[in-house]
Structure 1
Amino acid sequence: MLTDYRVRQRDYLLQISRALTSRLDLTEVLRLILESAAEMLSGQAGLIVLWDPEKEDFRVRASYGLPPNALPLFRPLWEDLPRQADLLRWPVPHLDQKLTLVSTQGGVLLRRVIGLPMVVGRDVMGAIYVFRARGIRFSSDDLQVLSSFADQAAIAVHNAQLYEAVSREKQRLDAVLEYSADGVMLLDPAHRITIFNRALARLTGWPAEEAIGREHDQVIVWARLETEMDLTRATAGGWPLRAWPPGRERDLSLYVEGDLRRRDGTTVSVGITYAPLFDEDDHLINIIANVRDITRFREADELKATFVSVVSHELKTPVSLIKGYAETLLREDARWDAETVRESLTVIAEEADRLNELIDNLLDASRLEAGALDLTIGEVDLVALAERMVARFRTQTDKHLLVTDFPPHFPLVEADERRIEQVLANLLANAIKYSPQGGRVQISGRVLPDQVIITVSDEGIGIPREEQARIFDRFYRVDDRLSRRTPGTGLGLYLTKAVIEAHGGRIWVESEPGQGAAFSFSLPLSR
């Protein structure tokens, strides 16, 4: 039958065990352990010290019956305490003598002390001390009782350290997930969303707090699938497998690609990689999904296809004409008069110029992609440049009236004359090309306080309003019958915009179908 003393000890230890499982505050648990140990051992005061890795020293973590200002005086009691359990010497020699010295120096009326280390594995986590004001020595039974409290304190410290390590790791993982550029979500085995990061909320339009708890298919809704399988079909087909042939690499990820319908009804191209997570018994515990916006990859693929199509088409026509006229002139069974030869050579020269322009445009587009569009800046007389360009293009058409309109004393600008000439050439060529019935084509200018505005206008077919935002895109051409019949790469306006923006200006268009178009660009004035 248990004595009252043993019953009290059991009750204290039971109370401490409950505290270990219900409380996360280590200081509270250590204080409870210390007070219980002091009461059981008829002590009037106590201390618990723990190893502080930052200070590389033992520090008081809990005290009982001692004024806070007296705590530093007790340091001699643990200054010889080792960090490794196999170096321990317990009981510590001369512990009572050290206490006598502390009591004398600090005026603390304590006569006896008992102390034990708190050990986990081979590591000394700290120590627990109980003091008596009377001179009654602690017995071996007291040492055994204190040992049970020291063990409980060591468990509490170890649990707290584990909890802190897990908390830090969770915070780190939460930060990685939350600030990942890709969307990330975690599903339970029933495909219910348990984690939904910020990037995925932006991508789908679903706030995390509304997405979490919903089924996967309520949030991930496909407008169009590029792959044969989505998560629902794959699961119905047995994915993910819980067993696989021996020696096979454990890679059961599922990739799904297509157009995802966002919450507001718009769509976005995404690729989702689903990876199953198994426990040690090969039971599915979670599915982690990485969601990536692949819009730019899709656009790059489409751009590549457009590039190949446009370039092959635009190269084929001039090469065919050059080859045809050259072969005709080289025929030995025919004699050509001088006029025919001149006309044929003119066509060859014009098509060679067209090829050269195409190559220059492609090279400029490549330089733009590499961020290497160089400018040679100098003073440019835009009025004189416009007159030269109009004179050059008058020789290419007899249907159009090409004119300039500038106010007197038009200022010089700081610009790359060759590049601005390229801009005007592109705009004039388009104005002539897209006004097949002829009409007036004009280069005009006006002066504002800090910039000049140059406008190239025509009386041609015009540009639909819905097309105007895209006409400066690379390889883009207005989708109409005339555009399809008219040669071009769709690079001219793209390069024109890049050149103007490189000068610190901007370019825009004003147009109505059937009413012509006016392309304007600005160039800053020197200060």
Structure 2
Amino acid sequence: MSWSQPQPTDTPHDQMTVLVGSAIRLLRGDAGVFVVSNEAFDPQSSTEYTYYHLSKTVLPLLLSYVQEGMQPNSLHPLVVEAMPPELAQQLGQSEDVVEEQGVECCSLALYDDDGPLGTLHFLRRATLRSCFERHNDEDAESSLQLFVMQLATSLRFALRSQALSKEQGRLAAIFSHSTEGILTVDNALRIIDFNPAMERLTGWRENEVLGQFYFKVLRPKDRQGNDQGLQNSVILRAFSGEEVINREMIICARDGQRFSVAVTASCVRSVHGDPMNGILNIRDLTREHQQEEQRSTFISVISHELQTPIAIIKGYASTLSRTDARFDAKTIRSRLLAIEDEADRLNKLVGNLLYASRIQANGLQMDITTLDLAHLIRSMVRRLHAKSPDVQVTLAIPPQLPVVMADRERIEEVLQNLLDNAVKYSPRRPEITVACYSTGEEVIVSVSDVGMGIALREQQQIFDRFHRVGEPLSQATPGAGLGLYICRAIVEAHGGRIWVESTLRQGSTFSFSLPREEKAPLPMVVF
């Protein structure tokens, strides 16, 4: 007896379904299910089913029924039992067939040279028999064993193909969704894989670099910026058996921008030990270097900002404590006022540091109430005039400015920081304009000056911690680079936004928005 194996289909899952269906038809069955033995194939996965002409809703009924009956084995590979009529109808068998011919449930144990594979359970009419069950055929038993072996071998191959396909899918997902760049080359150092993270990192598209010499695409340099020779290539080092892990170097993006990366290289070898492929894992170090620069900036700025008021306080205190000198009341008062001012400056610096730490730890507490911005702004401008009479402030606040939902003390800090910066960074006589206007969703406040301005390349970083503008005047002005960082944290905690518009040496306008107490009504339209 011989039986034809179906033609391969597109996917391993389809192959399983076709194989099971063909076997059930050859056994004269109408419907059935193949239950994979986990112990035989994949102990770590759950039981897999491939069924033919059965729905998922009735599958548990059949599985429950066959578990209670006699189980087939290698000595008795085929077990046949009459099925109750009610259950047969529930499983989709027609009422006429059930009443006139009856329905049998058959279980066939599948095994090959590698061991048991699973069990094929199928339904058929009681009046039908396959060629393997003809009592007058002396070779029926051996034919059934041969059929079982061939079917098991085909199903095992399909299962392994299915497992391989799943593994390839998992590897493809890792390759595509990895946050690190992955580049693969052949033994001639031509690029054969280029994942999306590499595309984002370098600006090149995969279809543009496939087949290209990887050295030409990345143009690697050492940490000092010197061109790396091909003999120092990390891929060749990996090919030679050297361990290459987190080797820091500089590569070039498509637009010519250079940036530092950490490269790990590995080699895939043939069964004979010859290099087949090289794999590069590339991790961008730009963010790490920025954080390192922030830490260095923090140490230098804070040490300078702390030492200056401490030195002034110590100097004046030492002068006043001299026993060989006599000072009049006016001199003593001016020295004490200077000590008080520097102590206030020191206290504000420490307060800002603690404030920034609370923001980093998500510990910013807010007391949101209705707030009259117009009244708060006028109050703060009067306070500024009392402290700095030479500052010229122009207010542009419309009447009936809507109230906002905000924490009064926090918004006062934002306005104080913006006003102080407008004064500090204006080399000439400070001229400040504070303007407000409202939209349907928010109220926007702007503080403008005619000072030094901010270069375009620094406007995106101006709200980062410890960042200070690189202009000489800015560097000479006292400050730790925390004020605008705190302003952004406060405004965003209110659900608002903060931004800057500036032209170098012409001035800056810092604006922030706060949500209105209630949305503006839509205009009435009369037809």
TM-score, structure 2 length as denominator? 0.72
Q: CA deviation at 1:447?
A: 4.7
1:123 aligns with 2:116: yes
> Match for residue 507 of structure 1?
498
SS in 2 for 1:375: coil
Tell me how far apart the structure 2 counterparts of residues 29 and 447 of structure 1 sit (CA, whole Å).
71
Q: CA deviation at 1:348?
A: 0.9
Check the 8 A contact 1:120/1:154 in 2, yes or no: no
Check the 8 A contact 1:116/1:147 in 2, yes or no: no
1:139 aligns with 2:132: no
> Match for residue 187 of structure 2?
189
Residue of 162, 165, 177 corresponding to 2:163: 165
- Unaligned runs of 5+ residues in structure 1 are 1-8, 39-43, 63-71, 109-114, 243-250
Check the 8 A contact 2:437/2:443 in 1, yes or no: yes
> Match for residue 256 of structure 1?
247
Q: CA deviation at 1:468?
A: 3.7
* CA deviation map 1:154-196 (0-9, x unaligned): 3323222222222222222222322233333333333333333
SS in 1 for 2:325: coil
Q: CA deviation at 1:299?
A: 1.9
Tell me how far apart the structure 1 counterparts of residues 72 and 166 of structure 2 sit (CA, whole Å).
28
Tell me how far apart the structure 1 counterparts of residues 448 and 146 of structure 2 sit (CA, whole Å).
95
Check the 8 A contact 1:227/1:256 in 2, yes or no: no
Tell me how far apart the structure 2 counterparts of residues 32 and 158 of structure 1 sit (CA, whole Å).
15
* CA deviation map 1:96-145 (0-9, x unaligned): x99xxxx999779xxxxxx9964333315568995289x883235x7556
Tell me how far apart the structure 1 counterparts of residues 406 and 292 of structure 2 sit (CA, whole Å).
35
Provide the aligned C-alpha RMSD in A.
4.6
Q: Which amino acid aligns with 1:120?
A: D
* CA deviation map 1:61-108 (0-9, x unaligned): 89xxxxxxxxx9xx99xx75525x4xx248x79x9x99xxxx999779
- Unaligned runs of 5+ residues in structure 2 are 38-45, 54-61, 83-96, 103-107, 122-128, 519-527
Q: Which amino acid aligns with 1:131?
A: C
Which piece of structure 1 moves more, 219-228 or 495-504? 219-228
Q: CA deviation at 1:486?
A: 1.5
Check the 8 A contact 2:35/2:118 in 1, yes or no: no
Q: CA deviation at 1:366?
A: 1.9
Tell me how far apart the structure 2 counterparts of residues 49 and 378 of structure 1 sit (CA, whole Å).
69
Tell me how far apart the structure 2 counterparts of residues 61 and 336 of structure 1 sit (CA, whole Å).
106
Check the 8 A contact 2:201/2:253 in 1, yes or no: yes
> Match for residue 411 of structure 2?
420
Check the 8 A contact 2:19/2:155 in 1, yes or no: no
SS in 1 for 2:335: helix
Taking a change above 3 Å as real, the CA distance of residues 221 and 410 of structure 1, as seen in their structure-2 partners, is: same
Identity in percent? 35
SS in 2 for 1:489: coil
Q: CA deviation at 1:27?
A: 7.2
Check the 8 A contact 1:426/1:493 in 2, yes or no: yes
1:203 aligns with 2:201: yes
Tell me how far apart the structure 2 counterparts of residues 459 and 154 of structure 1 sit (CA, whole Å).
85
1:393 aligns with 2:384: yes
Q: CA deviation at 1:471?
A: 2.8
SS in 2 for 1:222: coil
1:317 aligns with 2:300: no
> Match for residue 112 of structure 1?
none
Check the 8 A contact 2:16/2:159 in 1, yes or no: no
Check the 8 A contact 1:186/1:289 in 2, yes or no: yes
1:497 aligns with 2:504: no
Q: CA deviation at 1:427?
A: 1.9
> Match for residue 52 of structure 1?
35
Tell me how far apart the structure 1 counterparts of residues 469 and 447 of structure 2 sit (CA, whole Å).
18
Check the 8 A contact 2:183/2:281 in 1, yes or no: yes
Taking a change above 3 Å as real, the CA distance of residues 320 and 374 of structure 1, as seen in their structure-2 partners, is: same
> Match for residue 364 of structure 1?
355
Q: How many residue pairs end up in the alignment? A: 470
* CA deviation map 1:13-50 (0-9, x unaligned): 9x98x989xx9846777999999xx9xxxxx9899998
Q: Which amino acid aligns with 1:297?
A: E
Which piece of structure 1 moves more, 415-424 or 319-328? 415-424
